[in-house]
Amino acid sequence: MTTFGYFLSSEEHDPKELVRQAKLAEEAGFEALWISDHFHPWLDEQGESSFVWSVIGAISQATSLPVTTAVTCPIIRIHPAIIAQAAATAQILLDGRFRLGVGTGEALNEHILGDQWPPAEERQRMLEEALDVIRELWTGELVTYHGEFYEVDTARLYSLPDQPPPIYVSGFGPKSVELAGRLGDGYIHTAPAADMVEAFHKAGGEGKPCAAGLKVCWAHDEAEGRKTVHRLWPNQGIPGEAAQLLPLPRHFEQLSQLVTEEAATQSTPCGPSPEAHLNAIREYVDAGFDEVYISQIGKDQEGFFEFYSTQILPRLRERH
């Protein structure tokens, strides 16, 4: 049975609004939450980027839904020992409903303390070592760790949940998917890629959950929705590795000037047609994802939740 959740966009909405949307999502019938973890938005037009751990604490007291970070980068901006403490606290506050989603991050968020931005293979080694640190600290034992990238000196976590949170690992290429299958308790992706699900299973992920997210834009007409997407998320039409390499929102804005409305909305259902939304979501289900998270682009959250509660979620569940 597929889980259908809501994807909270920390880049678009202030922290109080994110908590409000979490409550609206639960009322509308969504079963779980994703929340993005950024220091900067992708574009100044998006306009927000709050500290995700504070927001998770507030959400834990406002809803009964599971929460997953999609995704946290525990390798540069925040030391993995601190992520271990933050995630353990979130798991306690959420009564065991927290999942730590991790990935190798983007220069956009990770360069801010002046650290060098490493190449992809090095970041993958850093992530593997970071997960070792996190899991060792979750044992509650006194930890001293001397690794290639991280040092921990006689550290112990005292506030620990009954069970540590599962760690979901994102992966978009063969090496990162192999790492996710080998080390993750689950897998995260952002496209309906059946080949990536299969690769994750072959790398050791068989029987582990696969989760994916997509953006939509419910609007009163398709043209209105397409304009909203092109204004707020043209960066999703930028191909290649730029998303991992560019350090500032203005750089994404500069490249986004080359992105047409068609390119920005190519994978984003827009407008009021139920079939457009249903078909996009079913691609993820058919690709083998166990959890699918939908994010509404723009300010009309009430219209979106009304639309999904009455016309989308019931029909998705009829099939499953």
Tell me the C-alpha distance between 149 and 77, whole Å: 13
Q: Label residue 94 left, alpha or beta by phi (over 0 means left) and psi (-120 to 50 means alpha).
A: alpha
What contacts 299, CB < 8 A, 6 or more positions away? none
Tell me the C-alpha distance between 303 and 309, whole Å: 10
Nearest to 238 by CA among 9, 42, 37, 66: 42
Residue 320 burial class via C-beta count within 10 angstroms: exposed 0-12, middle 13-18, buried 19 and up: exposed
Catalytic annotation, pick one of 13, 38, 40, 111? 38
Q: Would you state the structure tokens that stand for residue 109, as one six-digit string?
A: 């968020």
What contacts 57, CB < 8 A, 6 or more positions away? 89, 90, 93
Q: How far is CA 308 from CA 8, 15, 24, 120, 240, in A?
A: 15, 23, 11, 38, 32
Which of the 8 DSSP states describes residue 106? -
Q: Would you state the structure tokens that stand for residue 63, as one six-digit string?
A: 């809803």
Instruction: Count CB neighbours of 139 within 10 A.
Output: 12
Supply angle C-alpha 64, 48, 172, rounded to 5: 75
Nearest to 234 by CA among 249, 213, 223: 249
Catalytic annotation, pick one of 26, 106, 110, 283? 106
Amino acid at 304: F
Active site residue 222: no
Active site residue 38: yes
Please give the radius of gyration of the chain, using alpha carbons only, rounded to the nearest integer: 19
What contacts 112, CB < 8 A, 6 or more positions away? 39, 40, 77
Active site residues: 38, 106
